[in-house]
Every structure is written in structure tokens, then in C-alpha cells.
Amino acid sequence: MTEKKEKKITIALVAHDKMKQVMLEWAKEKIDTLKQRKLLGTSNTARQLKNVLDLEVEPFGHGPSGGDIYLAAKILDNEIDKVIFFIDAETPQGHEHDIQTLIRTAVINNIPIALNRATANHIINEEN
């Protein structure tokens, strides 16, 4: 009898430039849980998490260069279970439409999306 291998929860990690330090601090607090998940992240966020925390995060592109849209597509392809996106709500972003598309795609597809630390804590502590 073969044992069915349980699928790892896949979490996308994204942080605007001014929020990268917040993401690093949060990930350091949650590192034991994050190491048990499959992680994807925009290129700069993934690189920083790898370099600072030695956390394996598969990069998928730069947010302003289509990374947010690529992530939305991964949600549509049922490849993402949760999104942690630390946004800089005080600074206008040149790719606001892409960000809104990503948020809407997560909402429409019932994918938990955290836009701040408090919500990220809640999402990461959920069992599924």
C-alpha cells in the first residue's frame, strides 16, 4: 500500500521596498512554520529572505515588471494557498492596477491574503 503524500501549503511572500524590513522581521519570527511550507516570492523579497534568513523562497519575478500579475495567474492555476503581501500604503505605486488585480484575484478565488503583519500572523497560524 502506498502512502499518499500530503501537499505542502504554498505561500506567496511579497513586500514593497519600504516594507522589506518588516517582512524580514516577521519571517524571522515565523521561520519554523515557514520552513514547513513551499514559499514563492517576488525576486527582491525572495533574495532578501534567502540572504538574511537562509529561507528557501522560489523567485517568480519583480512586482512592477509583471510579478504581481504572474502571482495572480498562479492563483488562477490553483498553485497558491495563501498570500502575504506587506504593502506600503503610504507611497503611491506605479503598478497600482497590477496590485489591485492581484488582490481581487485572491479575493474572488477565496485565497487568504494578508496586507499587514496582524493579518499575516492570523493567516500563518491557520491550519489549512
Task: List the catalytic residues.
Answer: 68
DSSP three-state, residue 59: strand
Distances (CA, A) of 121 to 23, 27, 34, 87, 94: 12, 10, 12, 15, 28
Q: Give the separation between CA 94 and CA 111, rounded to whole angstroms.
A: 25
CB 75 within 8 A of CB 46: no
Q: Which helix (H) or strand (E) is 14 found in, with range? A: strand 10-15
DSSP bridge pairs for 115:
none
110: β partners: none
